[in-house]
Amino acid sequence: MASLSGLCSSFPSVKPNNRIGGELSPVRKDSLAVSTRSNSSFKHSVAREVSADLSKTNDVAGLKQAKQGGLEKDPKALWRRYVDWLYQHKELGLYLDVSRIGFSDEFVSEMEPRFQAAFKAMEELERGAIANPDEGRMVGHYWLRNAKLAPNPFLQVQIDKTLAAVCDFADAVISGKIKPPSPEGRFTQILSVGIGGSALGPQFVAEALAPDNPPLKIRFIDNTDPAGIDHQIAQLGPELASTLVIVISKSGGTPETRNGLLEVQKAFREAGLDFAKQGVAITQENSLLDNTTRIEGWVARFPMFDWVGGRTSEMSAVGLLPAALQGVDIREMLIGASMMDEATRSTVLRKNPAALLALCWYWATDGIGSKDMVVLPYKDSLLLFSRYLQQLVMESLGKEFDLDGNRVNQGISVYGNKGSTDQHAYIQQLREGVHNFFVTFIEVLRDRPPGHDWELEPGVTCGDYLFGMLQGTRSALYANDRESITVTVQEVTPRSVGALIALYERAVGIYASLVNINAYHQPGVEAGKKAAGEVLALQKRVLAVLNEASCEDPAESLTLQEIADRCHAPDDIEMIYKIIEHMAANDRALIAEGDCGSPYSLKVFLGECNVDELYA
Ligand SMILES: O=P(O)(O)OC[C@H]1O[C@](O)(CO)[C@@H](O)[C@@H]1O
């Protein structure tokens, strides 16, 4: 069997599209802040264009003027601004500094009515309104940390019962009461199978909060990459026998997760293990996964609720079960989230940290996502916060249409890793290169547990360096007109992590209201899933056509064009080429002769006829 791998080395790279311009809708705000801070004539001409467009829209009056003036540079005035705007949540020990975002008082006043509308919408959402109209769903992640807020007693009971079941199950597993059939007698590992919102929260929390020696160590399969799956299973080795597999999928039908499950089940079979005795599912009642679990008699099932979205599911069984099994105090996480929820219900902008974040995002990105959000936690354990926020923010805000059906192509791009590591990677560009971002620093005051610190040099600890790097980077960026927000917590604890998650969940919800979009659906993702399904369907047709040809004449080979014509898919010839290239590279049942670099030269055949398939 000929393989094409190695033949196709130099494909043209495709430049990703820039954000589509589209018409300015009423929510699109001016981008004059930068232009008025710069002397560049190009930016002035952009400013004129935008200003002309604004005149056609029903925009918030005065924003243009409000954004003029640039960033405060006088140290005394800047200190006053710092103190004036500093938000503190005393009990949580959380601070939010927005002084390095250049919004003016006029801007805040102009935005005030929008914020009041957003607060009202949030209040209705919490009361059980259908806040996700496209899917006809309530949005209830806030109820998870305070069941009394749920709009009816049935939901309250569901929440409380699930939390109790999670705690009981985790206790029973950790204590060895629930155990695997293997002679080891205790579960030592968790293999979590899930993707997107069914993986990112648990991954973030594991990295942030799992103790050095957790009762159960966690691994993740969060993709349909066979090599990645093999790697996780190989790393478990004989401990597969003492691994609790948690399959997480709200819908219960996500292909990547299903594939992960099938791969893991195969590994269990090959190791002579009974998967059902070690499998746990977290999914919506009556989903495909739920039914499979029931039929096969898995160890346990926990519900996912219709009214909790994947990206806001960390405080449901999705996040709580894996965390509890790793020995994380999940009740503390819930308390932190609930305290933050309380704070972010304030209708006074200055007293509401989520609203302050939304205000900054709106200002920094002109309400149209014109700048990216770079998230920089200065703490290794918070490394995955930026990845977690990437889904929360981008899947929520990245929308083509607003709630009134106008094309708006909204969103804010999020990326980041950690400080000070990134200082030695991309911060060069942030300081001096293209000015297309604002930064969010996450600062953790406590360097190490008490009693463990020491001075590397007189008066200076390792943590002082980390602190210095954060402060230095923040100052250096600001000096070059790069705006930043700083969120400070005392320590990385279940409570502070719960609070951080809740803070950003609310900020995203409020911002979505400001720009009039539905933050709780993801129609774009569905389009990608549908297209992927079509590719696999096309692959089946290609194989059927090749099989048919082989049955007619085992020596007959077909050109790509002939395959495309016989598949009745002449416009899909490029995809057919990619399918054949991929199958050939994986030693699948087809022979491709020719040069992959010259697709017209390719001749493809199966070599043998599968009669059963022919009549299938
Ligand atoms: O939990 P599920 O239903 O498997 O979905 C996983 C992820 O897929 C998405 O639906 C996007 O495809 C996310 O919103 C979600 O978190």
Smallest CA separation from ligand 1 atom 2, residue: 249
Which of 474, 503, 521 finishes a domain?
521
Calpha distance 240→260 (Å, rounded)? 15
Three-state DSSP state, 316: coil
User: Is 251 near ligand 1, meaning CB less than 6 Å away?
Assistant: yes
- For residue 131, which of 520, 603, 549 has the smallest C-alpha distance? 520
- Residue 47 included in any domain: no
How far is it, in rounded angstroms, from Cα 547 to Cα 540? 10
Cβ 195 under 6 angstroms from ligand 1: yes
Write down which residue in 461, 491, 521 finishes a domain.
Answer: 521
> From the alpha carbon of 257, which atom of ligand 1 is closest?
4
User: Do 245 and 355 belong together in one domain?
Assistant: no
| Active site annotation includes 126 | no
Looking at the structure, do residues 310 and 431 belong to the same domain, yes or no? no
**Tens digit of each residue's pLDDT (9 = 90 or more) over 13-53:** 322 333 323 333 333 334 333 333 333 333 333 333 333 34
* Tokens linked to 539: 């692959």
- Report the C-alpha gap between 170 and 323 in whole angstroms: 9
Q: Are residues 479 and 345 in the same domain?
A: yes
Tokens of 314: 């960390």
Q: How far apart are the first and last CA of the chain?
A: 25
Smallest CA-to-CA distance from 341 within 83, 152, 98, 125 is with 125
Pocket probe mutation, ligand 1, options 246, 247, 249, 250, max atoms within 8 Å of Cβ: 250
- Cβ–ligand 1 distance for 250 under 6 Å, the answer yes
Residues 6+ apart with CB under 8 A from 429: none
Confidence (pLDDT) at 554 = 86
Q: Is 310 in the pocket of ligand 1 (CB under 6 A)?
A: yes
Q: Please indicate, yes or no, whether residues 439 and 397 belong to a single structural domain of this protein.
A: yes
- How far apart are alpha carbons 321 and 129 in whole angstroms? 28
Ligand 1 atom with minimal separation from the 254 CA = 4
What is the model's pLDDT at position 63?
54
Cα of 7 from ligand 1 centre, angstroms: 36
Q: With contact defined as beta carbons under 8 Å apart, do 287 and 303 qualify? A: no
**DSSP label at residue 18:** P
| Whether residue 219 is found in the same domain as residue 306 | yes
The answer to whether the CB of 311 is under 6 A from ligand 1 is: yes
The domain in which residue 469 lies consists of: 75-135+335-521
CA 284 to chain centroid? 20
312 lines ligand 1 (CB under 6 A): no
In ligand 1, the atom with minimum distance to the C-alpha of 318 is: 1
CA of 438 to the centre of ligand 1 (A): 28
Q: Whose structure tokens read 């589209």?
A: 22
Residue carrying the six token digits 């103190």: 83
Q: Give the residue, by CA position, lying nearest to ligand 1 atom 11.
A: 525
Q: Is 498 in the pocket of ligand 1 (CB under 6 A)?
A: no
Same domain, 513 and 528: no
Phi, psi of 593 (to 5 degrees): -105, 145
Interval between CA 310 and ligand 1 midpoint (Å): 6
Same domain, yes or no: 449 and 558 = no
Task: Please tell me if the CB atom of residue 423 comes closer than 6 angstroms to any atom of ligand 1.
Answer: no
d(CA 521, CA 397): 9
Q: Mean pLDDT in each 10-residue stretch from start to end of the chain (616 residues)?
A: 33 30 34 32 34 40 52 96 98 98 96 98 97 94 97 97 98 98 90 98 98 98 98 97 98 95 98 98 97 97 97 98 98 98 98 98 97 98 98 98 98 96 92 96 96 94 97 96 98 98 98 98 88 94 95 92 97 96 90 89 89 73
Contact present, 30 and 63 (Cβ < 8 Å):
yes
529 flagged as catalytic: yes
Cβ 247 under 6 angstroms from ligand 1: no
Closest CA to 367 of 523, 519, 520, 516: 516
Q: Which two tokens stand for residue 185?
A: 């007698």
pLDDT at 193: 98
Which of 43, 529, 578, 582 is catalytic? The answer is 529
Ligand 1, atom 9: closest residue by C-alpha: 196
Q: CATH number for the domain including 264? A: 3.40.50.10490
The interface predicted TM-score of the complex, written ipTM, equals 0.98
Which residue's CA is minimally distant from atom 7 of ligand 1? 196
CATH number at residue 606: 1.10.10.10
- Does ligand 1 lie within 6 Å of residue 259's CB atom? no
Which protein residue's CA is at the shortest distance from atom 8 of ligand 1? 196
Tell me whether the omega of the peptide bond preceding residue 38 falls within 30 degrees of 0, making it cis. Answer: no
- In this prediction, residue 59 carries a pLDDT of 54
Question: Which atom of ligand 1 is nearest the CA belonging to 313?
Answer: 16
List the catalytic residue out of 424, 452, 530, 568: 424
Q: How many domains in the chain?
A: 3
Residue 67 is predicted with a pLDDT of: 52
Ligand 1 atom at minimal distance to the Cα of residue 304: 1
| Residue at 308: amino acid letter | V
Check if the beta carbon of residue 497 is closer than 8 Å to that of residue 333.
Answer: yes
* Last residue within a domain, chosen from 298, 328, 358: 328
Instruction: Answer yes or no: are the C-beta atoms of 6 and 592 closer than 8 Å.
Output: no
- Cα 198 to middle of ligand 1, angstroms: 7
**Segment holding 220, helix H or strand E:** strand 217-221
Query: Hey, whose CA ends up nearest to atom 14 of ligand 1?
Result: 310
Ligand 1 pocket residue status of 198, Cβ below 6 Å: yes
The secondary structure element, H or E, covering residue 185 is none
Measured distance CA(35)–CA(28) in Å, rounded: 16
Report yes or no on 473 lying in a domain.
yes
Asked whether the beta carbons of 468 and 425 are under 8 A apart, the reply is no
Locate all alpha helices (DSSP H) within 249-300, ordered by sequence.
Answer: 255-270, 288-296
Regarding whether 368 and 448 lie in a shared domain, the answer is: yes
285/169 same-domain check: yes
User: Is 452 assigned a catalytic role?
Assistant: no
Catalytic residue among 207, 314, 395, 483: 395
Q: Is residue 65 in a domain?
A: no
- Size (the chain), residues: 616
